[in-house]
Chains A and B, each alone.
Chain A
Amino acid sequence: MSTHDLIVPAAAAAARPWRERLGTMVPILVLAPSIAASFIYVFVFTFWTLYISLSNSSLLPTYGFVGLDNYASLWANRRWNIAYTNLFLFSGFYIVGSMAVGLLLAIAIDQRVRGEAVWRTIFLYPLAVSFIVTGTVWSWLYNPVDGIQAFVRGLGWTDFSFALTANRNTAIYAVIITGIWQSSGFAMALFLAGLRSVDPDLVKAAQIDGASVFRTYRRVILPTIAPIFLAVAVIQIQFAIKTFDLVAALTRGGPGVSTTFPAIYVYDLMFQRGQIGEGAAAAMMMLAAVAVVLVPYSLWIVWRRRAEGRNG
């Protein structure tokens, strides 16, 4: 570097404009590969899959245009109907359930408990392990012969029955319970961060105003962290839409097809049944679902930021 600076021949001076121009280009050059990768990943891949979904591809992608045929046959399929019904059912219970549990835990921890770090560690650890691990372990616990049912019967309650995963009508609830177990810690972490950001004077003011603890939370604290509820809900809906691992490990879509989810069905269509076109159509429907949730949410966020900007 220093030798470079010492030698100042005429050529270096002449080269300067070129070097300076290069200097201003550096950021863009460094960014370029990421831009290219993101562009391909987001746009090219999406349009590619969109195109496949409009083609008559089966085992291999072919590009004979068939319009919306794949979508029509997808929506006519009983299994797809089960899949998206499951998605709605799962999303509803899973979001409400994990938010309720998460909020309860966050409020409990927020009462200046001893050993806060220990409690938090316990409630959050499931988030660190994969859905595969969670699903596998819980599939054993749900197993009527070896798991919870056997345990309770062993305690002497011999007609106790807990066999969610063995029954078509209840298997979805096993997925829901496991989902809540895995991610209520996430809701707890966000709620706790929110509760901690509330001005402690607000709580004191409510105390002096004579509000009960319940009323203080309902009327004062929770309304101020309302945006966090929405954020948690949006993130969990996304989880729900993309749910694949959990079901794959827990029920493998069964018994029968009772716990089929859109993500499971996409996988099956593409890689088990060789119906790539219809699989791509199903994948596009998943993207659409994500968009339906995220587009209004992002618009709301932008609107809120602007509104805040106006009020200073």
Chain B
Amino acid sequence: MAEVAPNARFDPEEAAATRRHFWSRFLVYAVLTLFAVVYLVPLLVVIFNSLREQSEIARNGLISVPRSFRFDAWAQAWGSYCVSGTCEGMKRNFFNSLAMTIPATIISTILGAMNGYILSKWRFRGSELIFNLMLLGVFMPGQISLMPWAFLLGKLGLTNSTYGLVLIHVVQGISFTTLFCRNFYVSIPDDLIKAARIDGAGFWRIFRKIILPLSPPILIVTVIWQFTGIWNEYLFGVVFTSGQQQPITAALVALTAGGTTARAYDVMSAAVLIGALPPLLIYLFGGKYFVRGLTQGAIK
């Protein structure tokens, strides 16, 4: 690092310092590279296999440099692969997942923002208690609610329907979205609200004109968190829907469980990627907010 000035004297310490620096850097990058390989190999294997021919996979194994290249597996996985009798690939399940995730994300985020606003800026007697009650929802294992949901969805006629899953994810998601938004809104100075009230603004006006314009950072975090969480959810999907109504996670399990004979790794790889793509894209483009959501969700 230290470049030597032309008139500098000989410095015996410098060689040692340079050596120390080199080895410590080497160690750091070696560790990072090693783990990066471990983390990336599974992804690369799936990507490669979705593009390889099944016969080539069968011959050379899963982990191998691709020696063939085609998109057929993607087309099959998307539109024509047969799972338990129906040959429509994953596209229906993909759209099921979208139809479940998008409304559930939007509704739970709106509710969370309203709740957070009220619980931080319009406190009343017992509002802390209500907040803590909602917080408990974050920790509930889904298994506790399986039976009650089964009964309720039955009563509402929402069994085996995407709407039922939307309802479940909204109710379950309120805890998270409220938590995120409240913790964010708490950091907005109360004086801002007081000033607005003195200026004659009411509940809705303050929300629209003051809170909402300050909210994009937390709303992005909340939307990303909810979207990836709901998209990736499996338990409720597999319990409350079947066949054509299943979201993509449940369908993936059904698809990969299928053939006991020669496994169609090419199609399954493509299917797995189709299922992983939306959250991966969100992660790649909203990475900063994704990480912020993680850390905020953790510091409950």
Residues of B close to A27: CB separation below 8 A: 118, 122, 124, 203
A270 touches which of B38, B124, B146, B203 (Cβ 8 Å)? B146
**Is the CB–CB distance between A138 and B43 below 8 Å?**
no
Quick check: B249 and A245 within 8 Å, CB to CB?
yes
**How big is the A interface, by class?**
35 or more
User: Is A48 within 8 A of B118, CB to CB?
Assistant: no
A234 to B13, CA, bound (A): 47
Query: A27-B124, A129-B232 in contact; A104/B144 too (CB < 8 A)?
Result: no
B282 A249 Cβ-Cβ under 8 A: no
The CA-CA distance from A103 to B138 in the complex, in Å, is 26
Is there an interface contact between A49 and B141, defined as CB atoms closer than 8 Å? no
The answer on a CB contact under 8 Å between B298 and A231 is yes
Q: Are B35 and A105 in contact (CB under 8 A)?
A: yes
Task: For the complex, give the distance between the alpha carbons of A245 and B294 in Å.
Answer: 19
Q: Is there contact, CB below 8 Å, between A146 and B61? A: yes
A residues 131-181 in Cβ contact with B at 8 Å: 131-134, 136-141, 143, 146-148, 150-151, 154, 181
Whether B228 is near chain A, meaning CB under 8 Å from some CB there, is: yes
Binds A, one of B73-81, B155-163, B170-178, B213-221: B170-178
Q: Are B234 and A38 in contact (CB under 8 A)?
A: no
Chain A at the B interface: mostly helix, strand, loop or mixed? helix
**CA A146 – CA B58 in complex, angstroms?**
8
Task: Tell me, yes or no, whether B98 is within 8 Å of chain A by CB.
Answer: no
Instruction: Judge if B99 is at the interface, Cβ distance under 8 Å.
Output: no
> What A residues does B265 contact at CB under 8 A?
140, 146
Q: Bound state CA distance, A44 and B267, in angstroms?
A: 44
Cα distance, A211 to B146, chains bound together (Å): 55
Bound Cα distance A293, B96 (Å): 36
CB pair B38 A181 closer than 8 Å: yes
Residues B147 and A52 in contact, CB atoms below 8 Å apart: yes
A42 located at the interface, meaning its Cβ lies under 8 Å from any Cβ of chain B in the complex: yes
Closest A residue, CB atoms, query B174:
A34
A124 and B276 in contact, given A41-B171, A132-B234, A181-B39 (Cβ under 8 angstroms) = no
> B241: shortest Cβ distance to chain A, in Å?
12
Whole-angstrom distance between the alpha carbons of A140 and B267 in the complex? 13
Contact A38 to B137, CB < 8 A, known contacts A189-B291, A252-B257? yes
Residues of A97-124 at the interface with B, using a CB-CB cut-off of 8 Å, are: 101, 104-105, 108-109, 111, 113, 117, 119-124
Q: Does B103 contact A (CB under 8 A)?
A: no
Rounded to whole angstroms, the CA-CA distance of A131 and B239 in the bound complex is: 17
**Which A residues touch B24, using CB under 8 A?**
111, 213
Given A30-B114, A109-B32, are A41 and B42 neighbors across the interface (CB < 8 Å)? no
Closest to B251 in A: A132
Which residues of A are found within 8 Å of B275, using beta-carbon distances?
A: 130, 132-133
Question: Does A238 make an interface contact (CB < 8 A)?
Answer: yes
In the complex, how many angstroms separate the beta carbon of B242 from the nearest chain A beta carbon? 11
Taking a contact as CB atoms closer than 8 A, the residue among B145, B149, B234 that contacts A244 in the complex is B234
- Is A23 in the interface zone, CB < 8 Å from B? yes
Say which residue of A39, A40, A122 sits within 8 Å of B36 (CB atoms).
A122
Minimum CB–CB distance from A262 to chain B (whole Å) comes to 8
| Pairwise interchain contact B122-A48, C-beta atoms closer than 8 A | no
With contacts A132-B234, A151-B62 known, is A49 near B147, CB below 8 A?
A: yes
Give CA–CA (A301, B232) in the complex, Å: 30
Q: Does A241 contact B (CB under 8 A)?
A: yes
Assuming the A-B contacts A130-B279, A146-B61, are A238 and B133 also in contact, with contact meaning beta carbons closer than 8 angstroms in the complex? no
Residues A44 and B148 in contact in the complex (CB < 8 Å), given A132-B232, A141-B45, A190-B294: yes
**Is A216 interfacial (CB-CB < 8 Å)?**
no
Return the chain A residue nearest B207 by Cβ: A30
Interface centre among B24, B249, B257 (most CB of A within 10 A): B249
Q: How far, in whole Å, are A105 and B234 apart by their CA atoms in the complex?
A: 30
A126 at interface, CB cutoff 8 A = yes
Distance A24 CA – B143 CA, assembled complex (angstroms): 39
Q: Mark contacts of A286-299 with chain B using CB atoms, 8 A cut-off: 1 yes-contact digit, 0 otherwise.
A: 11001000100000
**What are 30 sample pairs from A and B whose C-beta atoms fall under 8 A apart?**
A23-B202, A23-B203, A26-B204, A34-B134, A37-B171, A41-B140, A41-B145, A45-B148, A49-B148, A119-B36, A121-B284, A128-B280, A130-B232, A132-B234, A141-B63, A146-B265, A147-B63, A148-B63, A150-B62, A186-B294, A189-B294, A190-B295, A193-B295, A245-B249, A249-B234, A252-B257, A266-B146, A267-B235, A279-B147, A283-B141
Q: A38-B171, A132-B253, A137-B42 are in contact. List 8 more A-B contacts (CB 8 A).
A: A30-B118, A38-B136, A41-B145, A49-B145, A132-B249, A154-B64, A280-B147, A286-B143
